[in-house]
Amino acid sequence: MDMEARGHSEHPEALRLWLRMLTCTQLVEKQVRTQLREQFDTTLPRFDLMAQLERSPEGLKMNELSRRMMVTGGNVTGITDQLVTEGLVERVDVEGDRRAYRVRLTTRGRKLFDEMAAEHEAWIVAAFEGLSAREVESLHKLLGKVKQHHNALADAKLETT
């Protein structure tokens, strides 16, 4: 895994960090995708959509799902269609707006998701078991700063538009 042997720069710290972060994420993500496919015959975006719904028993509107999953609307329609076909999620009318509806897990979808989530958590715990609890916390905090800074930049950009 020598992806990191990539950049050249006079200010290489951030670059080195980014390449390592990318490598780590890809390692874990690849593992998760493979396991989801092998054990549950599903994909990461499908799992992600169900995970979003799991936290919102009342369901989420398509545009909210789109925002949270960071993909455009057409894709959410496609993934939702698949999950509806399999009886794992359902579309429910929103009263007061006949254009929109909420997508929510069915009982069966929730049951299946719970099983998947338990396995998923085990994979993730294994991926980070090289770190102590304090290190996990520290990493979480540092990444929080990265995220926060990104959001600050995005907000600033919006204001000038």
Q: Per CB under 8 A, which of residues 33..52 are in contact with its own copies?
A: 48, 51-52
| Helix, strand or coil, per DSSP, at residue 91 | strand
Contact call for residues 103 and 65 (beta carbons, < 8 A) = yes
Q: Which does 73 bind (CB under 5 to 8 A by kind): its own copies, DNA, none?
A: DNA
Q: Per CB under 7 A, which of residues 18..37 are in contact with DNA?
A: 30, 33
Q: How far apart are CA 127 and CA 125, in angstroms?
A: 5
Q: Which does 72 bind (CB under 5 to 8 A by kind): its own copies, DNA, none?
A: DNA
Task: Give min distance, CB of 70 to DNA, in A.
Answer: 7
Contact call for residues 6 and 25 (beta carbons, < 8 A) = no
Contact call for residues 139 and 124 (beta carbons, < 8 A) = no
Q: Counting contacts by CB under 7 A, is residue 51 touching DNA?
A: no
Binding DNA (rule: CB under 7 A), the pick from 1, 13, 57, 72 is 72
